[in-house]
Structures are given as C-alpha cells and as structure tokens.
Amino acid sequence: MSILTRRAALFGASTVFATLRTTVGMAQSTGPYTLPPLAYGLDANEPFIDAMTMQIHHDRHHAAYVANLNNAVKDHPQLAALAPDALLGKLTEVPESIRTVVRNNAGGHVNHSMFWQVMGGKGGAPTGALAAAITRDFGDLATLQANFNKAGAGVFGSGWVFVTVTREGKLALLPRPNQDSPIIDGSRVLFGNDLWEHAYYLKYQNKRPDYLAAWWNVVDWSKIEGRYNQALAGTLAI
C-alpha cells in the first residue's frame, strides 16, 4: 500500500480524492496554456517528497498558475499566441494592467513545468559534458550542491533557487524571489528547486534546509543532461 493510499485510508479515501478532484475541476480552463501531466507517479519521489505534497502541488498549485495565466490573456490574443517562455521574454510589452499577473503566473507555469521534468529520478551524479561543466564552474558536484542549498536556505519568504545555463554551456547559481523566472532577464534555466512552503511543508514543516538536502535524492540527472544538450543547441524553452 502506498503512503498516499494509506493516508487516504486514514482520512477516508473518498473524501480526500473527491476534494482534490473538485479543486482540479475548478482550476481547469480551456487554454491556451495547459497543465503538463507528470511523467511519473505521485509516489515516485517518496519518501523524500511525499505523494500528497506532489498531488496538491501539481494538481492545485500549478493548475492555478495555468488557470490564472489563461484568464489574464483571454482578451489579448496576440499574447495568448505566445509560448510561455516567449511571453516572459516580452514582459515589458505586456500591458501594465496585466503585467504583474502574467509575470507571476507565466513564471509559475514555466518554473513548475521545469521542476516536474527534473524530478522523478534517483539522484546520484551527472555524467559527460554536464559533469565537466559542473567541475569547471563550481569545482565539483558537492560544492555546487552545498552552494545551491545555502542559497536556497537564504531566500527570504517564497522563491526559487536555479542553476542557469548559457548557449555556451556556462552554469551559474541564481536565487530568485516569488515566481520570477530567469527567462524574464533572457537567461535559461538548467534546473531549480521550489522554495515555497507548499513544496515541502507537509513533510518538512519549517525545516527548509532538510528539504533542500533531501531533494537531491529525487533529481533525474539524465533529464538535466537532456536540458543541458538542449541549451547548447539553442532549443531549451522552459
């Protein structure tokens, strides 16, 4: 029995899932932006990220960013036609009346779409060109992880900690507040971790450093290597 199933049994499965499904139904909208499905089960990141957190985070929080973004652009067909990264790259051209809501919700959409992609793995270490780039730009993987965790613990309130990548493959650490995406400033994200309390509070409560340390156990380095290759090819979108 999975932890989610066990927990649902404790609380009454029908109540838990009926509540979740109702909320998802409310958050769904007709587009143009859509919630990407997870490529793995809700319990794939157990025990480090619990299934209940995954379900609420993906089905409610990410869905809400998508719904809010669709609502913001519904009267702006020229904006609604843009891919989310293109929309963030043209934020200064977005009407001021919707600029903040687009910044927050397009940011939330691309940040979470990236986040699901790079999880569902077993941790470990990268190989090949990415491993060489980490050695070149951070010294070694352990130093990158220590600096990343320290930067993530140091973000006041809600935000993200990212590793950005240039077209030339140069890596850099970049903490950002709220749902601000590095794409707004013309950068590309190799990977990042969500520092909002909704990402970890059920399991870790106020212990964000414990969550940051545990998160490396569910990173899928093969996905991050794929993103690195896309960055070098100029095809990395979100």
Q: Give residues in contact with Mn ion (CB under 5 A).
A: 194, 196
Nearest approach in angstroms of CB 155 to Mn ion is: 13
Alpha-carbon distances of 84 from 49, 68, 87, 180, 230, rounded to whole Å: 27, 13, 5, 13, 17
> How many CA atoms does the CB half-sphere of 233 hold within 13 Å?
9
Nearest approach in angstroms of CB 77 to Mn ion is: 28
Nearest approach in angstroms of CB 101 to Mn ion is: 17
DSSP β-bridge partners for residue 173:
163
Nearest approach in angstroms of CB 111 to Mn ion is: 7
154-158 long-range contacts (CB < 8 A, ≥24 apart) are 155/195, 158/195, 158/196, 158/197
Nearest approach in angstroms of CB 193 to Mn ion is: 10
Nearest approach in angstroms of CB 198 to Mn ion is: 5
* Residue (134 or 214) nearer to Mn ion, CB: 214
* Residue (108 or 126) nearer to Mn ion, CB: 108
Nearest approach in angstroms of CB 59 to Mn ion is: 12
204-208 long-range contacts (CB < 8 A, ≥24 apart) are 208/152, 208/153
* Residue (191 or 196) nearer to Mn ion, CB: 196
Determine the Cα–Cα distance for residues 59 and 93; give it in Å rounded to an integer: 30
50: region left, alpha or beta (phi > 0 left; psi from -120 to 50 alpha): beta
Measured from each CB, the residue nearest to Mn ion is: 194
Q: How far is CA 47 from the centre of its chain?
A: 19
* Residue (162 or 196) nearer to Mn ion, CB: 196
* Residue (59 or 194) nearer to Mn ion, CB: 194
Q: What is the DSSP letter of 61?
A: I
Residues 6+ apart with CB under 8 A from 199: 53, 57, 193, 211
* Residue (180 or 194) nearer to Mn ion, CB: 194
* Residue (54 or 102) nearer to Mn ion, CB: 54
Which residue, among 28, 8, 21, 95, has the nearest Cα to 56 in the 3D structure?
21
